[in-house]
Every structure is written in structure tokens, then in C-alpha cells.
Amino acid sequence: MPREFTSKVVTANALLEGDVVYLTEADTWTRHLSEAEILTDEADADIRLLGAQGRASEVVGAYLADVAPGAAGPQPTHFREEFRRTGPSNYFHGKQAAR
């Protein structure tokens, strides 16, 4: 029996900076998961992913990440996505330096 489709967002890494980015409804990239477009239809998700993968001059490694809708926007459902969102953990630099 096929697995039920769950909510997803398109995520990738910005080509020049390497930052984690998410695709918005406006077809732009954001560094904030809360602004990402939540995809609830598998066909739509596949189309959005193909479009993102075709933007090789902007991003690399685009894929669909599982999320759950939340009051503050999509929330990661897997520790890998939470880790990517917060940045490296070996010492405070980049996104973590501002905290």
C-alpha cells in the first residue's frame, strides 16, 4: 500500500552563500521556513520541485522536505530539517552568531 502524501516544502541551498532556502508561493527563495509554501498535493509538489531543480543558477540540491502546518508557518517533522534550519552546531557562526 502506498504511503499517504504528507505536507511538504521545497528546500535547497543557495548557490553562492550555501544558506538553506525555501520556495515561497511567489516563486522566490526565502531563508525563513515560516515563509515557505506548504504543498499538500503530491502532483503540485512534484511540479514545484521540478521547477526549483531547473533553477541551477540560484540553488543546488532542491528536494521536498516533510513539514507540519503550525501557527507560525510550517514546522519540520524530522530532526534533519530542524538541524538544517538552525545551521551548524560545532560553534556559533553564521546564523547562530546573532543569538
Reported as a single tens digit per residue, the pLDDT across 22-65 is 999 999 999 999 999 999 999 999 999 999 999 999 999 999 99
Contact call for residues 36 and 22 (beta carbons, < 8 A)? yes
Query: What is the structure's pLDDT at 86?
Result: 72
Query: How many Cα atoms sit within 13 Å of 95 on the Cβ side?
Result: 14
Mean pLDDT of 88-97: 60
Cα of 68 vs its chain's centroid, Å = 12
| CA gap 83, 81 in Å, rounded | 5
Amino acid at 57: S
Domain extents in the chain: 8-98
pTM, rounded to two decimals: 0.83
Contact status, residue 25 vs residue 16, Cβ threshold 8 Å? no
Q: What percent of the chain has pLDDT over 90?
A: 63
Do 38 and 74 touch, CB atoms closer than 8 A?
yes
Residue-level pLDDT at 88: 59
CA angle 73, 57, 32 (to 5 degrees): 15
